Chain A
Amino acid sequence: MKILVCISHVPDTTSKIAFTDNNTKLETSGVQYIIGPYDDYALARAVELKESSGASITVLNVGLAETEPTIRKALAIGADEAIRVNAFPTDSLFVATQIAEQAKNYDLILMGRESIDFNSGVVHAMVGEILGIPSVSPVMKLDIDGTKVTMTKEIEGGKEQVESNLPLVAGCQEPIAEWKIPNMRGIMSARTKPLKIVEPKGIEAISINKKFELPAPKSAVKMISADNVVELVTRLKTEAKVL
């Protein structure tokens, strides 16, 4: 079985977000980049499948050269080879188009439920649509028997058991697998594993990021004595008007 795992290269979850160049670019100084946390679950499940049934894993990232340390980390965790589509990921359609170009010969395409930068939560659905294969997300459990795939998918207030067939795209989230931490051997071997760089397929952009904005700063917290919860109720009613 051939598995493709798509990883995004995103600011660490604790990063403070700020913009430069007249609010058109992310301020990257001091930002630590990581494999998207959901993508890490996808990768972890792929590694489990490789261990249990001998699959091969390719990781794919659409990004410029700066993402290579993140790709190498995925190789250290257990992917066998990598592809980098050499382009800045401008929007979901662009990323999905590039992934679909590369993904044609895989049995299983695993992604995260969403990237934590642009949070669209749609690349998996778009790739499934472009390739004409099913896509399911967010998947909390995924088991394969021959070409049959059974999944548990989270829905609002509960979950669904879903069945489908390979080839398939799945957007993963916990507890699909435990995050894997690269070991020394993995890190050493990652250096020599193949990383192929391909040029993007050109498409017309139909959405354009004009600028960014930070949310309005929060006003200072009003502290209320633990002996005076009645005051809290009053303020929630008359001041905040939320009760």
Chain B
Amino acid sequence: MNILVFLETSEGKIKKTSLEAMAYAHGMNGVTTAIVLGKADAGDLQTLGKYGAAKVLHAADTKLDEPIIQVYSSVLAHAMQDEKADVLLLANSSLGTPVAAKVAIKLGASFASNVTELPDTSSGFTVKRSIYTGKAFAFVELTGAKKVITLKKNAAELKETGGNAPVVNYTVPLNEADFNTKILKTEKATGDILLPEAEIVVSGGRGMKGPEHWGILEDLAKALHAATGCSKPVSDMGWRPHHEHVGQTGVKVAPQLYIAVGISGAIQHLAGVNSSKCIVVINKDADAPFFKAADYGIVGDAFEVVPKLTQAILASK
């Protein structure tokens, strides 16, 4: 089986979620070609061999520096043909998911998004995907000759297998008509750990009482090298930016550790965190529903518990 893996970059650096797609490809035991579009860090391209790529295609055309979905989907559809690839793998993201959907249409390929585990190929090709916002899974058989799959975070564990792969310059004719959307401006929190990709998330709810109290959560996040998140009312009231809002109608996270402070645990909030490996809840109300979904709980006042926890973490280092 020939597998093509699309690796997304952020300021030229390959995203970790995309490396998980490499690990997934490795688990499928196929021949893996990695593809990177636009500006990319040469060192990062070199490391892809270590993650299992037999070959790395780099389409370095500066016109690909900006992630235009239509353009990217055409390039990937082209690469699927050129490489005679059977499967295209991408990480779920605001870029990867729509690009994948378009490639699937172009190639007439079977498609599944939000895939959480390696396929079952004992008879046919069946993937497990997350549905009902993490409340259930579906097993979907993909019967098309070609398949396009987007992966949910943690679908495969990163593995360095230590190989070396040649980095090949890949050129494709770009179609002017594909530049059908123009990115006027990008505003991105820089330097911070991005919430959707974070291994640890410290999240605050209405129990924090106001934006001026976020300092103690930021200190905790800093001590843990974590991203900060929040509940919906918190972003609705403008205490925190919208892109930090976690839940059914916000970001879905899947970190190793999710620490919820002053969040009651409404079902719509839980829908965004139920893929976390470990959940810690700090709430002054012992009956808060969130405790039922938690691994560890502390009943107490956030303003006392959080600074103590930060101290304890710093002391344990």
Contact = CB atoms under 8 A, between A and B. Distances in A.
Nearest to B188: A158
Contacts of B281: 221
B111 interface: yes
B196 interface: yes
Contacts, number: 245
A80 to B, nearest CB: 27
B312 A232 contact: yes
Give chain B's interface secondary structure class: mixed
Contacts of A157: 188-189, 192, 194-196, 243
Nearest to A117: B132
Contact of A155 (B95, B102, B128, B139): B95
Nearest to A226: B300
Chain B: number of interface residues, binned into ranges: 35 or more
Nearest to B198: A157
Contacts of A129: 73, 101-102, 105-106
Interface of B: 69-70, 73, 93-95, 97-102, 104-106, 108-114, 126, 128, 130-144, 180-189, 192, 194-197, 200, 224, 242-243, 248-249, 256-257, 267-268, 271, 274, 277-278, 280-281, 291-301, 304-305, 308-309, 312-313, 315-316
A13 B200 CA distance: 26
Interface string A213-243: 1110011011111100110111111001011
Contacts of B113: 92, 119-122
A136 B102 CA distance: 12
B98 A137 contact: yes
B245 to A, nearest CB: 9
A212 B140 CA distance: 9
A224 B186 contact: no
A236 B258 CA distance: 11
B143 A138 contact: no
Given A13-B271, A116-B248, A236-B280, A126 B104 contact: yes
B136 A221 contact: no
Interface in A97-149: 116-122, 124-126, 128-130, 133-138, 140
List the 7 closest A-B pairs by CB distance, nearest first. Answer: A226-B300, A158-B188, A125-B98, A122-B101, A206-B144, A125-B101, A161-B184
A159 B136 contact: no
Contacts of A116: 132-133, 248
A233 B316 contact: yes
B312 to A, nearest CB: 5
Nearest to B184: A161
A213 B130 CA distance: 10
A220 to B, nearest CB: 9
Interface of A: 11, 13-14, 17, 19, 37-38, 91-93, 96, 116-122, 124-126, 128-130, 133-138, 140, 150, 153-165, 173-175, 205-215, 218-219, 221-226, 229-230, 232-237, 240, 242-243
Nearest to B106: A129
Contact of B309 (A137, A233, A237): A233
5 contacts: A17-B136, A138-B94, A160-B185, A163-B182, A229-B298
Given A117-B132, A210-B140, A140 B181 contact: no
A81 B18 CA distance: 43
B196 A17 contact: no
A211 B139 contact: yes
Contact of B243 (A124, A154, A207, A229): A154
